[in-house]
Amino acid sequence: MRRRAYLASLTAAVAAAAGCQGGRSGDGQGTDTGIPGTAATASPATRTPGRVTGTAVDGTDLPVPDSALDRGAPRDAIPAITDPVFGADWSDVTQRSQGYDSSLPEGLALNDDDQVIGVERDGRARAYPLRVLNWHEVVNDTFAGPLLVTYCPLCGSAVTAERRVDGEPTTFGVSGLLYRADLVMYDEATESLWSQILAQAIQGPATGDRLSLTPSSFTAWGSWREAHPDTEVLLPPPISDTVAGRVRRRYAVDPYAAYDDSRRIGIGDREDGGRLHPKTTVVGVTSGDTSRAYPLPAVREAGVLNDTVGDLPVVVTVGDDGRLYAYDRRVDGTTLTFERDGDALAAGGSRWSVATATATDGSYEGTTLDRANDRSPMFWFAWRDFNPGTDVYGDGSAGTTPVG
């Protein structure tokens, strides 16, 4: 079953909240959910036509035309979280408290290998589980300032940013539109449309404006909690409130499990037959005019990659959580060459935590490497579509040196 159709079949609030067939923005046609007896009317998002022209961060002319937008669901059918609540864990969150029969095969306890987006600000840490974000995609938080946490299940991409437009805090919601299969958000202040991966307004009064990105980690709950023992974690609705009120979803169920293994991209019947599977996880690094993607299987096989992208020396590896990490390997003007030392990186006589990029001993103890990627790891097709000139480690065009 197609990903959005599966999501629709599990959504309690609106039986046909997410249509798998999709359609162009503003076509005014009903959206077929693929579920017998259900359908949704995909009315266009309310927005002001773009009044600003310019260029997107990927070189696209702005504003993007309606013809470039696909309708995946009605506006707010995927309800953004607007009043998040946090706890130490999910030990008190039960299926019965969510309004479902407690005999469901899976409980709601977070497992160590459950994926989370981790954010650390002003010495505090918070985790946002994909169990929640698969269903809501956008969290409007206040955490050392207005914070926007987003995840697009269709692209496997996480983006965190300051939750401000024109310098003022605002609330973001899910428009139901897709741009290159990626989440398109709207902001309440200007009703502009924003591409999640670009972190840029692509239609409306704010067209061309960019969100100020904030650091985050895409990791496993167990690894994040080990590195941040005092972390808080987002609790699922109805404990947390949403733009649609205190909704309930089956957070024990992954509504997109079948999608990740298929070659189908986004909504509809588009398939990718390229050499690299479109759902391969890659971490992308851009420096100057050079973009390079590092596929998870190739990095795992190599162990550690010391590379230079443009003029940026990078080290790429896989953590114990199975996630890709890419760091700038320059420290105080010196470019280090890293090796793997058990569960750590080693260079310059110090061992460095893969997850935190901080040296734990030796002459560099306490020093933290800068992150080389400004976007989270994501599916290969999404990185390629937003970085059309990218090369790929392992295709013969990148001069990467594997170590370990």
Domains and CATH numbers, the chain: 46-242 (no CATH), 281-403 (2.102.10.10)
For 20-49, write each residue's pLDDT tens digit. 333 434 333 233 222 222 223 333 333 344
C-alpha–C-alpha distance, residues 346 and 363, integer Å: 12
**Residue 257 phi, psi dihedral angles, 5° rounding:** -60, -40
pLDDT, tens digit only, all 404 positions of the chain: 333 433 333 333 333 333 333 343 433 323 322 222 222 333 333 334 444 557 777 778 999 999 999 999 999 999 999 999 999 999 878 655 555 544 434 457 899 999 999 999 999 999 999 999 999 999 999 999 999 999 999 999 999 999 999 999 999 999 999 999 999 999 999 999 999 999 999 999 999 999 999 999 999 999 999 999 999 999 999 999 999 998 988 898 889 988 988 999 988 767 787 789 999 999 999 999 999 999 999 999 999 999 999 999 999 999 999 999 999 999 999 999 999 999 999 999 999 999 999 999 999 999 999 999 989 999 999 999 999 999 999 876 555 444 43
What's the pTM value of the predicted model, to 2 decimals? 0.84
For 301-336, write each residue's pLDDT tens digit. 999 999 999 999 999 999 999 999 999 999 999 999
pLDDT attached to residue 292: 97
pLDDT attached to residue 63: 96
Do 222 and 109 contact (CB within 8 A), yes or no? no
If you search the block for the tokens 């999608």, which residue do you land on?
259
- Contacts of residue 2, Cβ cutoff 8 Å, sequence gap at least 6: 20, 34, 259, 264, 267
pLDDT attached to residue 55: 78
